[in-house]
């Protein structure tokens, strides 16, 4: 079996690739498990050495839009002719899209459309997992969000990133209706705790306010403590992507996007969880410095999700944010120097 992951050198792409390679087999779209013989990772940069050293991994680097330009035979470097599934993770993030409208359109809408066209040219519809976002939901005084988001809640995005993700959901749904792909759009929650460096997402601080204090550094939280957020650990997020690959068409259900489960919490409760797990001194490294622009974006996103469709697929939210922090420390044993030193 041959699978393609765009954004394959990014945090989620790398984690998904490692998970699939470790499993070794995949029951694609409800079929019998088959060996994963090839994994094509597409990104601007190369993935870590452990992935490039795996004989099953092929790396394709470059600008995704350019890699999706068909040659004289109609094939592209990003989607080989024998690809049976594509997981589309590559995207410009929320802060980038709000700062640069054209970048967001090119990286998100244009690239997704080109990727779907490349899949269409294969002739045999691949499973197409699209990573959408809870940012498709947005609160306004004129059209307030319900207290709890259901699977059939009308998306009302309030920033360019959310609008682009919703447009792509509709493209995936229509290409599925036409039989070009077997589409599964998965709305990811904000992933926390992400290891590594911060990115340009408006929600980046929701990892930084835990990751940086654990590493002995100060972090800024730009939203008030009572700001409500919906979070998912990296493990639960990747679990949702794998389940989207494996669900049969009947189990997946309608062509509309599926909301992944989330932990509903607040920025203040996150800081309290950090204090419980790592100590008050660690939590004291958070500086509460308001940023009106980030607060406006984050406050427009929902915090409570009733993910019934995901539950029917066996997906559940993390038990608590305390557990998410403990998982982060277990997976990154050097994250807390005070506890890691001999």
**243 within 8 A of 314, measured Cβ to Cβ:** yes
Stretch (H or E) spanning 116 = helix 111-122
Give the burial class of 143: count Cβ atoms within 10 A of its Cβ; 0-12 exposed, 13-18 middle, 19 or more buried: exposed
Q: By three-state DSSP, how is residue 194 classified? A: coil
Give dist(CA 1, CA 23) in Å, integer. Answer: 13
Give dist(CA 131, CA 196) in Å, integer. Answer: 21
For 312, which DSSP code? H
Dihedral of CA 302/276/236/61: which sign?
positive
**135 within 8 A of 97, measured Cβ to Cβ:** no
Asked about 321 being catalytic, the answer comes back as no
Name, in order, each residue with C-beta under 8 angstroms of 9's C-beta and a sequence gap of 6 or more: 41, 43, 44, 45, 46, 47, 48
Q: Pick the catalytic residue: 128, 161, 205, 252?
A: 161
Which residue in 223, 196, 227, 163 sits closest to 331, CA to CA?
A: 196
According to DSSP, the residues that pair with 58 across neighbouring strands are: 40
Which residue in 257, 218, 11, 318 sits closest to 128, CA to CA?
A: 257
Which residue in 130, 126, 230 sits closest to 186, CA to CA?
A: 130
In the numeric block, the tokens 């004291």 are attached to 284
Give the burial class of 290: count Cβ atoms within 10 A of its Cβ; 0-12 exposed, 13-18 middle, 19 or more buried: exposed
Q: By three-state DSSP, how is residue 22 classified? A: helix
Which sequence positions are flagged as catalytic?
Answer: 161
């Amino acid at each position: 079996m041959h699978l393609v992951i765009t954004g394959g050198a990014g945090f989620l792409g790398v984690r998904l690739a490692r998970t699939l390679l470790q499993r070794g087999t995949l029951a694609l779209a409800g079929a019998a498990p088959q060996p994963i013989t090839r994994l094509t990772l597409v990104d601007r940069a190369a993935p870590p050495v452990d992935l490039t050293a795996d004989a099953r991994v092929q790396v394709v680097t470059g600008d995704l839009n350019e890699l999706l330009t068909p040659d004289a035979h109609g094939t592209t470097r990003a989607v080989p002719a024998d690809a049976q599934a594509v997981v589309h993770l590559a995207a410009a993030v929320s802060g980038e899209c709000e700062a640069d409208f054209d970048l967001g359109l090119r990286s998100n809408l244009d690239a997704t459309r080109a990727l779907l066209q490349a899949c269409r040219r294969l002739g045999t519809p691949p499973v197409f997992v699209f990573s959408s976002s809870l940012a498709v939901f947005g609160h306004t005084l004129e059209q307030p969000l319900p207290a709890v988001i259901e699977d059939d809640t009308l998306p009302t995005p309030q920033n360019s990133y959310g609008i682009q993700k919703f447009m792509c959901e509709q493209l995936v749904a229509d290409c599925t209706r036409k039989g070009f792909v077997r589409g599964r759009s998965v709305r990811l929650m904000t992933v926390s705790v992400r290891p590594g460096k911060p990115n340009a997402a408006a929600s980046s601080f929701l990892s930084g306010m835990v990751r940086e204090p654990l590493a002995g550094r100060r972090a800024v939280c730009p939203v008030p403590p009572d700001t409500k957020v919906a979070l998912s650990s990296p493990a639960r997020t990747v679990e949702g992507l794998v389940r989207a690959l494996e669900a049969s068409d009947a189990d997946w259900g309608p062509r509309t996007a599926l909301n992944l489960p989330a932990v509903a919490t607040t920025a203040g409760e996150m800081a309290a969880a950090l204090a419980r797990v790592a100590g008050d001194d660690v939590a004291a490294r958070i500086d509460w410095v308001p940023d009106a622009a980030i607060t406006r974006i984050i406050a427009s996103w929902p915090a409570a999700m009733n993910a019934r469709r995901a539950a029917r697929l066996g997906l559940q939210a993390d038990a608590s944010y305390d557990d998410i922090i403990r998982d982060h420390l277990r997976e990154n044993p050097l994250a807390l120097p005070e506890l890691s030193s001999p």
